[in-house]
Structure 1
Amino acid sequence: MTAQPLAGLTSLKVKLGLLVVASVVVALVVASLGRAGGVPAWLSIPVTIALALAVTQLLAVGMTSPLREMTAAARRMAVGDYAVRVTATSRDEVGQLARAFNTMARDLAEVDQQRRELVANVSHELRTPLTALCAVLENLVDGVGPRDPASFAAALAQAERLVGLVEDLLDLARVDAGKAPLVPERVEMRDLLDDAVAESRVLGRDVSYAVHVDPDDLVVHADPARLRQLVSNLLDNASRHSPAGETVSVKVTLHGDRYRLEVHDRGPGVDPSDRDRVFEPFGTLNAAEGTGGTGLGLAIARWVTDLHGGTISFVDPEPGTDGARVSVDLPLHPHDRPVTRQEDAMTPVPPPPHGRPLPPLVEARSPSSNPRELGSLRTSDRDPSPAPSPVGAQPLLDDLFGSFWPERGTPARLAVLLGALGVGVLAAIVLPFRSLGIGTFLVLMGAGAVILASEHRRRDPFVVACAVVCVLLAATSVVRAAEWIVVLCLLAGAAVCVCAVTGARSLPGFVLSGLSWPLAGLRGLPWLGRTLTVLTGLGHGAALLRTVVWSVLGLLVFGALFVSADALVAEWVDVLVPDLTIDTFVLRAFVTVAVGGTVLAAAYLALNPPRVDRPAAAARSTGARFEWLTPVLAVNAVFAVFLVAQATVVFGGHAYLRETTGLTYAEYVHRGFGQLTVATALTLVVVWAATRRAPRETATDRAWLRGTLGLLCAQTLVVVASALYRMHVYQEAYGFTQLRVLVDVFEAWLGLLVVAVLVGGIALRARWLPRFALLSGAVVLLGLAAINPDAWVAERNLERYAETGKIDWAYFADLSDDAVPVLADLPAADRGCALAYWEPADDDWLEWNLGRARAADAMEGGAVGEWSGTCAEDLSSTVRQAP
């Protein structure tokens, strides 16, 4: 069972107050530490929120779960399942309500069981006399049997038996419903017993009675009618089961402020295993055994005893005797109201005066008991009561996430938690105050290993492909010095990773997968709690904490001694152990939580992925072809107009363009690139919408769909080519930049997707297309990183400079070290302009990067050079801080 930190508090208001105070204090402390340590806001805010939520989850464990359990239990009770129970561990109002609910459920279960048994038993008891009565009357009507007094006496006996049964049922119902109030009076026990014995003798049974009262003048306070009914039922039961000629003994003895009534017969006795159940309604088979009675006498005796606040039970006979011996223990001064069995069980019985204990009621098995004893139960007719079953409350987060992200009972994975924590610690040691390089790659590989270890579909080809792509994207941090391309590759790797672990197959699935990653920090809190429980359970909580403290203390003390004793050890420690001043420690702590939490959230996505993709809906026909065909033809017509305009520009020449629009060709192509890119992307949306709306039942429908959409895709490819050509012309006219290269690659990728749509349109099935778009986009980005975009931009600009003499020297200051080997080959004057702000990097081995290493090798032994007059003015006006 999960520990509840606030379970000992008795007020829900106090719990909520402490919860709010704790969350606010944690948020303020963490935010203050982040500000004092110079942690950037983009890092400190999510870490603060995550820690505040974690504290809230830790303290709020079990506060509302009983309410949700009661809701589920009430639904089960509404359909007749009364064996439900809710967990009640807290002492507040919710815990009290849960315990009251369990009491109510137990009482309802007992009432329901009694109702079922009463219906079954009454039906059973009524069937025998009614069957016999009907048989006698049927014989009389048909003339089969003689119409003599004996026949009418037999019918009358069965009718009287029915009347007795109904009267007993009414008496029992009055007592059970509290309609039989207790009116205590002075009762002389000798007179009451004598009257009861005299009434029993009238029944004509061949038994004698021995009455003993000690003291003989004993006077008690009781309801005379009810006490008389109690004694009569016990004597009737004893006389029916005593052999002929035997004696039924009746004894009353005083014990302090209570008195005991005992009735002992010489019959077969009651088995100890059945002694508690013989007092239930119809708890005997008397009618079946032919002994008479209704099976309600002992039940009425028990309820009369309860009314007086006493107890009744069958006990072992006295030594040397056999038979059934029933003992009734009653107070001399009973309550003046009915006392229920539950109240009697909850209210302790006051001790007898002078500390004298009452004689114990021995309930050991009697040697003389046999199978045909008094009160043998109809066990074959009874169904065993169902054992109470706990109700699992639906967690609050299940209500929040619903069917989108159910909790599938994800088992605790201690190795995953420790792995994520290890990656967080590694990131805190490696990442702060270092540039991207080997250390970044090691952190990413550690994170990937934890996530892949959590993924249960490691042999899925899509997962394998995504893993390979992610490794290659992470490797750009070691190969390229241009941070813009590395950051894009890492973001693409994150997108590929999250789509792989969720198994997304559609564009909406990709979007939901991206949103699920931060939400996993909330969805995975119950799983994290179970895992932490396993962690503390391994070392029994305090023992684990002591182990960690002593281990760290030993490491610090002996480490400090050996560092001060050996210079080589000190050098190794300086290399391996980061700077741990208060400012850097706070920053590293934030990095540990942020990176470790991010990796843990991704691992939980792999362990329990959400349902990001809904089952594909069948294509829905619109009923008329023109409803989808007309819009598609209209878009085709617009594309055709654009293509005609492009052909006019090609054949009319630049002079016709300037005469018609007043624009140069460079200005003309610059104004249209962005719009053409948007048009290409919107074309994919049009194709998606048309394929979902268009019917495919007939060959004609499929032909129109392939023809119109195929024409649209073909025209879109021409638009893509036009956009790429326009960007080429614009770059030739105004120079090459990183952004222009990036949008060029993006437009080319859109063209690749259009080609993929054409391929999928052949079979009108393209479930593979979304994943193809995801992986192809990542591969295209890898290709861009492979060509070294900064060096490529530098080369293109230098070629343009050689042809036209035009160049923007200030722009080279924005290029990374990847471009340095290209610029290092320039003449001294130009090299001084191109590398005016370049400085060699002072990296350690964790920062090693191929791009920066090649830049250092290219500039080794060579000076940057002086600024020439042609670039001095441009560079002096450029405000830029050195890297």
Structure 2
Amino acid sequence: MESWFADIQAGTPAPVRTATLWAALATGLLSMLLLGEGLAVNLLLVAIPVTLGAYFAAGRAGRRPRPWTLVWGVGALALLVVPALRDADWPSFLAIAAAVAVGSLALHGGRTWTGMLFGPIGLYTSLITGPGWGWRGLRERTGGARGNVGPVLRATAVAAVLLVVFGALFAGADAAFADLLAGLVPDASVSGGPWHAVLFVLGVVGALAAAHTAAAPVQWDRVEVPAGRPHGRVEWALPLVVLAVLFAAFNAVQLAVLFGGYDAVLEKTGQTYSEYARQGFWQLLLVTLLTLLVIVLALRWAPRDGARDRTLVRGVLGTLCALALVVVASAVRRMDMYVEAYGLTRLRISVVTVEVWLGLVIVLIMVAGVLGARWLPRAVLASAAAGVLAFGIMSPDALIAERNVQRYERTGTFDLDYARGLSADAVPALDELDEPLRSCALKHIAEDLEADVAPWYATSWGEAHARDILDGRALSPEADWRECSRLNLDLAYR
């Protein structure tokens, strides 16, 4: 166990650079000034000095950026664009979590499945070792050694005092200048002092942790997973062939339904249109997940004696993957049927996105069977990060509102209660509704926007765009709670 840990543990990091310390200080100051009001473009602004500090630390340690390092780094920053664009919390949370995972790969440089899965752990351990590493470097520079930063810190403090004093005087002399400062300068009031101090510490610690990880990453790629015991051809292939036959029979029924129409199937089974779609989707989603598990285990126990075994493995698993793609298409079609019957929701758009991504993973596995699987771990994680980025940019709340408004225009049914719970991203689509339904759908969103006014750096583009729409067209006074309740009951049971 000790030998295993010694193989992967991080080496001694090179001494911290002055540029890295300045980047950590900048991160702390930006965190203190910008992150107290919410998350939007401020998160991206804070991430820039974190990235620079990690780059300086890696360069001091002799690590040079490789193509995949740049891909992961740019991908992490791109994911942080989502909170700047979207008001909805749930796609922003997914994007931030994905940015941390992808950013850890930029710091570690993982290539294998173990490197992909365990990379973030090394980043979290640096939260303890990184601040000590930075503190040692700071003491070396403030103890009289060459390159002392003491005079620079004193000069910075004097400049800050001069800015505060003269800025306050100018603001008192001119109201327009005071408004300009109020809009540009973050709030650093005494009442929020403890919270600002916490944000400063978190920013410095996070920047030093990232830099320490870049300077001395844990070598998770050195963890070797023992290969599975190969089985005989018949023992290995027979269960998979039987499963493939079952898949083929199911897919044949799906094709028959597709060309023969759903009416005959519904008449025979006694199900409604929506019941048929809802029941089938969740089972098929589970089938897709289990198929991926079967493929992973089959590869682990596959026969490996020669070219004939490799041909057998590729043929059997390739056929199973191709049939699984038909199952994925059937699951997506069933969810589309269910949405047509009951409308689009956050859960429905999320699970269908996951199903489509699982289909992409199956395609990548098929390609790896032909070209080799060395690149597969990176490709799978990159596809997941790209999916989260695309999911956030396309604005799921806006898509949900747009699809449901179109369904209302077609069928006359609308879930008003659900529309009220959407974020400001849904305002452009809901604004297309007729009065008083429009005002009933937008009233709660408008009240939330009015109660939660944040500075420019903590305001997403979706929220700002929604404010512009609501300011340009006022809500109808007829949309009181009685009228909205009547509309909700009327539209729900049409």
Per the shorter chain, which TM-score range? 0.7 to 0.9
CA displacement, residues 499-519 of structure 1 (integer Å, 9 cap, x when unaligned): 122111233322211222211
Match of residue 470 from structure 1: 76
| One-letter code aligned to 1:818 | D
Unaligned runs of 5+ in 1: 1-397, 877-883
The reply to whether residue 448 of structure 1 matches residue 51 of structure 2 is: yes
| One-letter code aligned to 2:464 | A
- The 5-angstrom pairing of residues 94-113 of structure 1 reads none
Distance 2:486 2:298 in 1: 57
The reply to whether residue 437 of structure 1 matches residue 40 of structure 2 is: yes
Shift of 1:591: 1.4
Greater relative CO, 1 or 2 (CA 8 Å, sep 6+): 2
Match of residue 306 from structure 2: 698
- The 5-angstrom pairing of residues 646-657 of structure 1 reads 646-647=254-255, 650=258, 651=260, 653-657=262-266
Distance 1:844 1:609, change over 3 A: same
CA displacement, residues 472-507 of structure 1 (integer Å, 9 cap, x when unaligned): 222223222223222222221221111122111233
Larger Rg: 1
Distance 2:13 2:51 in 1: 24
8 Å CA contact retained: 2:231, 2:301: no
| One-letter code aligned to 2:479 | W
Unaligned runs of 5+ in 2: 490-494
Q: Which of 459, 473, 479 in structure 2 is aligned with 1:867?
A: 479
| One-letter code aligned to 1:536 | T
8 Å CA contact retained: 2:405, 2:433: no
The reply to whether residue 768 of structure 1 matches residue 378 of structure 2 is: no
| One-letter code aligned to 1:510 | M
The reply to whether residue 506 of structure 1 matches residue 119 of structure 2 is: no
Distance 2:231 2:155 in 1: 77
| One-letter code aligned to 1:804 | T
Shift of 1:620: 6.1
8 Å CA contact retained: 2:123, 2:213: yes
Distance 1:848 1:538, change over 3 A: farther
Distance 1:529 1:560, change over 3 A: closer
Distance 1:667 1:502, change over 3 A: same
The reply to whether residue 591 of structure 1 matches residue 199 of structure 2 is: yes
Match of residue 385 from structure 2: 778
CA displacement, residues 821-873 of structure 1 (integer Å, 9 cap, x when unaligned): 22223323221122122325645332353222322333333111132766334
Match of residue 427 from structure 1: 31
Shift of 1:679: 2.4
8 Å CA contact retained: 2:8, 2:222: no
Match of residue 53 from structure 1: none
CA displacement, residues 512-551 of structure 1 (integer Å, 9 cap, x when unaligned): 11222211223446534532332333579xx977985796
Distance 1:408 1:629, change over 3 A: farther
Q: Partner of 1:774: helix, strand, or coil? A: helix
8 Å CA contact retained: 1:476, 1:486: yes
Shift of 1:622: 2.2
Shift of 1:689: 2.5
CA displacement, residues 125-183 of structure 1 (integer Å, 9 cap, x when unaligned): xxxxxxxxxxxxxxxxxxxxxxxxxxxxxxxxxxxxxxxxxxxxxxxxxxxxxxxxxxx
Distance 2:284 2:265 in 1: 22
- The 5-angstrom pairing of residues 201-600 of structure 1 reads 402-433=6-37, 435-456=38-59, 457-524=63-130, 527-538=133-144, 552=157, 555-556=160-161, 559-560=164-165, 563-564=168-169, 567-568=173-174, 574=182, 578-600=186-208
8 Å CA contact retained: 2:415, 2:488: no
Q: Partner of 1:710: helix, strand, or coil? A: helix
The reply to whether residue 820 of structure 1 matches residue 431 of structure 2 is: no
Match of residue 680 from structure 1: 288
Distance 1:741 1:680, change over 3 A: same
Distance 1:527 1:724, change over 3 A: same
Shift of 1:767: 1.2
Distance 1:465 1:767 in 2: 17
Distance 1:874 1:611, change over 3 A: farther
Q: Which of 829, 835, 847 in structure 1 is aligned with 2:458?
A: 847
Distance 1:788 1:454 in 2: 36
| One-letter code aligned to 1:788 | S
Shift of 1:704: 1.0
8 Å CA contact retained: 1:469, 1:778: yes
- The 5-angstrom pairing of residues 743-822 of structure 1 reads 743-763=351-371, 765-822=372-429
Q: Partner of 1:867: helix, strand, or coil? A: coil
The reply to whether residue 728 of structure 1 matches residue 341 of structure 2 is: no
| One-letter code aligned to 2:382 | L
Higher share of residues assigned strand: 1
- The 5-angstrom pairing of residues 153-232 of structure 1 reads none
CA displacement, residues 446-475 of structure 1 (integer Å, 9 cap, x when unaligned): 323323333455541111222332232222
8 Å CA contact retained: 1:654, 1:664: no
Distance 1:693 1:684 in 2: 14
CA displacement, residues 643-691 of structure 1 (integer Å, 9 cap, x when unaligned): 355456554844544544x432311321232332232233223222222
TM-score (norm 2): 0.85
Distance 1:534 1:776 in 2: 44
8 Å CA contact retained: 2:130, 2:208: no
Q: Which of 644, 658, 665 in structure 1 is aligned with 2:273?
A: 665
| One-letter code aligned to 2:18 | L
8 Å CA contact retained: 1:427, 1:591: yes
8 Å CA contact retained: 1:499, 1:510: yes
Match of residue 492 from structure 2: none
| One-letter code aligned to 2:74 | V
Distance 1:514 1:653 in 2: 48
8 Å CA contact retained: 2:129, 2:209: no
Distance 1:612 1:633 in 2: 36
Superposition RMSD in Å: 3.3
Shift of 1:432: 0.8
What is the percentage of aligned positions where both structures have the same residue?
35
Distance 1:653 1:579 in 2: 61
8 Å CA contact retained: 1:619, 1:695: no
Shift of 1:752: 0.9
